[in-house]
Homo-oligomer: A and B are copies of this chain.
Amino acid sequence: MQKRVGEQTIQLSVPVRIAATAAIAGPKEAEGPLAAYFDTTIEDALYGESSWEKAESKLVRDTITMAVKKAKLRMEDIDIMAAGDLLNQSTGTTFGVRALGRPFLGLYGACSTMGESLCVGAMLIDGGFARHVVCSASSHFCAAEKQFRFPLELGTQRPLTSTWTVTGDGAAVLSAEEVTGGAVCVTGMTIGKIVDMGIKDANNMGAAMAPAAADTILTHLHDTKREPTYYDEIVTGDLGYVGQELVCELLEREGISLPNYTDCGIRIFDREKQDTHAGGSGCACAALTFAGYYYQEMQKGTYKRILFIPTGALLSPTTTQQGETIPGIAHAVVIEMVR
C-alpha cells in the first residue's frame, strides 16, 4: 500500500477527480484580470452581513454550497469537508460550514490551506475513506487587515513589499467516481516542511514564504525526478512579486531555472491598475485562482498539467510582537487533465 515517492512526495494510486469548483470573489478581485473566471463577485465587502467576519463565513457557506451543486451532488453526499481560513480559531470556516451538517476537518496552514485541503482530501478519497470531499479556503481583506495589521479606518500606509489579502472563497469537490471522458484530477502531492530563514518583517510575507516554496519545489522535483518543464505551469500561492523573484533566486542557486513559473498573487490583480504593491495574498488568493482560472483553463486544454503550490506564513500578531521570525510552509499539488 506504500504510495510514497522519495522524501515527501505521494503518488496517488488512481487520479482523484475534481468534480467541480466554485469561486466567489470580492469587489477588488472583480476588477482584476481573473474576474470572468469567478462564478460570482460580490459588490460590497460586507456581503449583506453586519461584520467582515460574518461576510467571510457567508462566502464560505455559499461557495461550498455552489461547488456541491455544480458537482451535481446533494450536500448529504459530502462525506468530509476539509477547510480553513486565516481568522483566529478559523471561524471564517467553522461558522460558514456550521449549517451544512457534514463531517468536518478544520485545517490551518495559513495561506497554504487550499493546498493542504486538496492534499488531505485527495488522500482520504484515494485511501477509500470518503467518496466526496469538499476542500475550501477563504480570506477577507478587511477582516485580515483588522486582525493582523491595523483597522482599515486608520488609513495606514502600506509598505511596497506588502501584499493585498484577497477577499473570497475557492472550493473544490473531490470525487471517488471513476474518470471518464476527461477530468481535471489530483494525481500526487508533496507535503511541505516548515522553513524559517529568519525574516521578521510582517509586511514582507513574500520573502518570508519564498524559502518554503523553494524547498517544496526542489523536494518535489528531486523526489519525482522530474524537470520543471514536466509541468505546463508551476504556480505558487501568494508570494507576489517580491517572493516570486526570491524563489527564482533560491532555485537558481541549486542550478534550477523555472521558465514556466508564476504566482497566483501576480495573476489575480493587475499590477499597473490595481495598486496592490507586491500582489495578492491570503488563503483565497490561491483558492480563487485555482478554482476559477486554472480549473477552467485546464478543462479548455490550455494547461494539461500544473504544479500548484499554495504558500503560508505561519505567524500571528503575538509572535511578531514577541520578536519571532516568520515560519513558512508550502504544499505542492500535482493537478492533471486525465483522459
Contact = CB atoms under 8 A, between A and B. Distances in A.
Contacts of A89: 86, 88, 108, 110, 314-316, 319
A194 B64 CA distance: 15
A128 B316 contact: no
Interface residues of A, number: 61
A296 interface: no
A108 B110 contact: no
A130 interface: yes
Contact of A94 (B88, B119, B194): B194
A116 B127 contact: no
A192 B103 contact: yes
Query: How many of these chains are in the complex?
Result: 2
A4 B129 contact: yes
Given A89-B108, A108-B89, A314 B193 contact: no
A108 B84 contact: yes
A318 interface: yes
B109 A105 contact: yes
A108 B91 CA distance: 10
Interface string A93-104: 011011001111
Interface in A44-101: 50-51, 53-54, 79-80, 84, 86-91, 94-95, 97-98, 101
Contact of A106 (B116, B123, B128, B196): B116
Contacts of A13: 128
A40 interface: no
Interface of A: 1-4, 8, 10, 13, 50-51, 53-54, 79-80, 84, 86-91, 94-95, 97-98, 101-110, 116, 119-120, 123-124, 126-131, 147, 191-194, 196, 314-319, 322, 324, 327, 329
